[in-house]
Amino acid sequence: MIKPHGSDELNPLFVYDSNKNDELQHSARDLKSIVVSSQTAGNAVMLGSGYFNPLTGYMNIADSLEVADNMHTTSGLFWPTPVMNVVANSQDIQAGDTISLKDPNVEGNPILAVQNVRSVETLTDTQIEKICQKTYGTNDKEHPGVAAFLEQGNVVIAGDIQVLNHSYFATEFPDTFKTAVEIRHEIKEHGWNKVIAFQTRNPMHRAHEELCHMAMDAIKADGVVIHMLLGKLKPGDIPAPVRDAAIRKMAEIYFPPNTVMVNGYGFDMLYAGPREAVLHAVFRQNMGATHFIIGRDHAGVGDYYGDFEAQEIFDEVKDGELEIEIFKADHTAYSTKLNKVIMMRDAPTGHTKEDFVLLSGTKVREMLGNGEAPPPEFSRPEVAKILMDYYQNL
């Protein structure tokens, strides 16, 4: 099986020993505590799950700036986005303290993790601007990722953590949320050697489904892991339980047995386009995928990124920095001339836009809200039914 990123073995930061976990939970009640941001909580879940291997905790300002600037920590580890615990007020927390991190996304703010504080530093406005510009490609406060980062504050608490639970993901999505450790185990159980991963934050329409089949055929994969984001999205996106139901129905009917796994991970979408595409590749390697599909405007939002910037950034990744291989995909759509889904770059000469079934997101939502199923060339009827039920109950 493919090695994790940066180490020979996966090192999740979750405390699996139940006695030790209970002891830490008990002792953490007497520690200084902070309710962290949703982004920081997502980082903790990813660290605890093994997805952010080999990181051992939250970065300081020097590492965060170096990662933002050139995708490496000060020690030389390849890493594409800062992983930080940023707060508005340090609340007298000092280097050397052990503190408890409380979950902002669960009622009662239970303890999510314990952090050994290595440093407490304050970001300057210039440093904040640099981190945003380099990570998100913009300082525009209308960008949802930039807005979420700026809302946290400017105090950076760095240091190693021990994760005590997986937030709401394990309880709200018990059949879907899986750690990198668990997915690696499932891949071994399936007997898969060549594994391709597909990222989604949306329901999968016909083109997405066929793209997975095309990629599997192209690399002769044993299976595909459809890996959905379960954390916070932007307003208007379809909630995770609906996406989960739609994707599972599609996988059940339209993939052969023992060729697909449907799982999810606990993280808030950054909408960081190219940089987030690289982050997605890193943690797919950590979960055991040998290949990863990067499509048009991967992890993008609005008009902030070019159609294929998320593919082009991998040209900057040096040999040996990542073992996972990238399957670069074009926009896919149903060709009425060929009566099948193809990548548009592969369309035979003579194809025009009118020869493809192309529907805007707005048009699809309008149809679903009116109880009208999109054409079967665009969406499988079983998937459309689940989405229609959701939109009509809004």
Would you name the residues annotated as active-site residues?
201-202
SS (H, E, C) the chain: CCCCCCCCCCCCCECCCHHHHHHHHHHHCCCEEEECCHHHHHHHHHHHHCCCCCCCEECCHHHHHHHHHHCECCCCCECCCCCCCEECCCCCCCCCCEEEEECCCCCCCCEEEEEECCEEEECCHHHHHHHHHHHHCCCCCCCHHHHHHHHCCCEEEEEEEEECCCCCHHHHCCCCECCHHHHHHHHHHHCCCCEEEEEECCCCCHHHHHHHHHHHHHHCCCEEEEEEECCCCCCCCCCHHHHHHHHHHHHHHHCCCCCEEEEEECCCCCCCCHHHHHHHHHHHHHCCCCEEEECCCCCCCCCCCCCCHHHHHHHHCCCCCCCCEEEECCCEEEECCCCEEEEHHHCCCCCCHHHEECCCHHHHHHHHHCCCCCCCCCCCHHHHHHHHHHHHCC
